[in-house]
Amino acid sequence: MQILDVKLEEELVAAQMLDVKELAETIVGIGFECTNCGACCKGGDEDHTATIFPSEIRKIQNVSKREWRDVARPMPFGVRENEKGELVGETFEWALQIGGCGDCSFYKETDGKGMCGIYGFKPLICETYPFSVDLGGSSKPKGEIVEKVGEILVHECEGIGREIEYKEAVKMAEVLKERTIREIEESIQLIREYRSLKTGRERLIVHDSEGAKDRDGKII
């Protein structure tokens, strides 16, 4: 854990030094315009999985007046159902909640056009799709990657290659830098807060940057 912590600290410094202008120029070169296809909100062959931080969950809670478990679900990796049909196991971080079809529960579609039900309050990962930053360290973005241009990873999206205005690219670059910093800070804090819980019974435990929680976001 200590070695990983040091690597993440180094990545954090690198993230803080990211040049927004350079990122924006790279984004302009790649090109992007959202087509509202909704592909990034849909589950496809697997359920939709988009990481959301605890502070982002609370922000959406305040806006939507929903309970924690209606906004987010435990990241499914490491989670299983026991004989009683209850979710048990230990996992790390949270994902946006999904509907019965595996799509993001906030996704809506009208006449073939997708719409976000929490537009303006979306998690950083949604705000920056289809881009992420690869600093070449231990923090590896998830999702199918089409190409890498400079430090930017380009994920699969039909909007790639379309013209984007420089000022819009700057906005994207600013949020992309913020997301990169936040992801690393969350990882560092998660490692520092992590503790293995021997409860003597099967239960669901989610470890995030604030400690160990149950599925309702309450500290265990």
Residue at 217: amino acid letter: G
pLDDT at 146: 84
CA angle 123, 126, 132 (to 5 degrees): 110
Q: How far apart are CA 71 and CA 216, in angstroms?
A: 10
Q: In what order do the strands lie in the sheet with 87-92?
A: 79-81, 87-92, 204-208, 211-213
Tell me if residue 149 falls in helix, strand or coil: strand
The predicted-structure confidence for 59-82, as pLDDT tens digits, reads as follows 999 999 999 999 999 999 999 988
Length of the chain (residues): 220
Q: How far apart are CA 119 and CA 122, in angstroms?
A: 6
Residue 199's pLDDT band (boundaries 50, 70, 90)?
low
Average pLDDT over residues 154-169: 96
pLDDT at 143: 58
Tokens for 78, please give them.
Answer: 């490491």
Instruction: Please state the separation of Cα 167 from the chain's center in Å.
Output: 24
pLDDT at 106: 95
The predicted-structure confidence for 30-50, as pLDDT tens digits, reads as follows 999 999 999 999 987 889 999
Query: Which of the residue ranges 5-9, 85-89, 154-158 has the most confident prediction, judged by mean pLDDT?
Result: 154-158
Residue 110's pLDDT band (boundaries 50, 70, 90)?
confident
Q: How far apart are CA 117 and CA 107, in angstroms?
A: 6
Residue 111's pLDDT band (boundaries 50, 70, 90)?
confident
Tokens for 125, please give them.
Answer: 């990962």
Average pLDDT over residues 146-155: 93
CA distances from 143 to 40, 46, 122, 129, 150 (A): 10, 12, 18, 10, 18
Please check whether residue 175 is in contact with residue 124, taking contact to mean a CB–CB distance below 8 angstroms: yes
Q: How many CB atoms lie within 10 A of CB 54?
A: 19
Q: Is the pTM of this model over 0.85?
A: yes
CA angle 178, 168, 137 (to 5 degrees): 35
Residue 152's pLDDT band (boundaries 50, 70, 90)?
very high
Per the listing, tokens 């830098």 go with 177
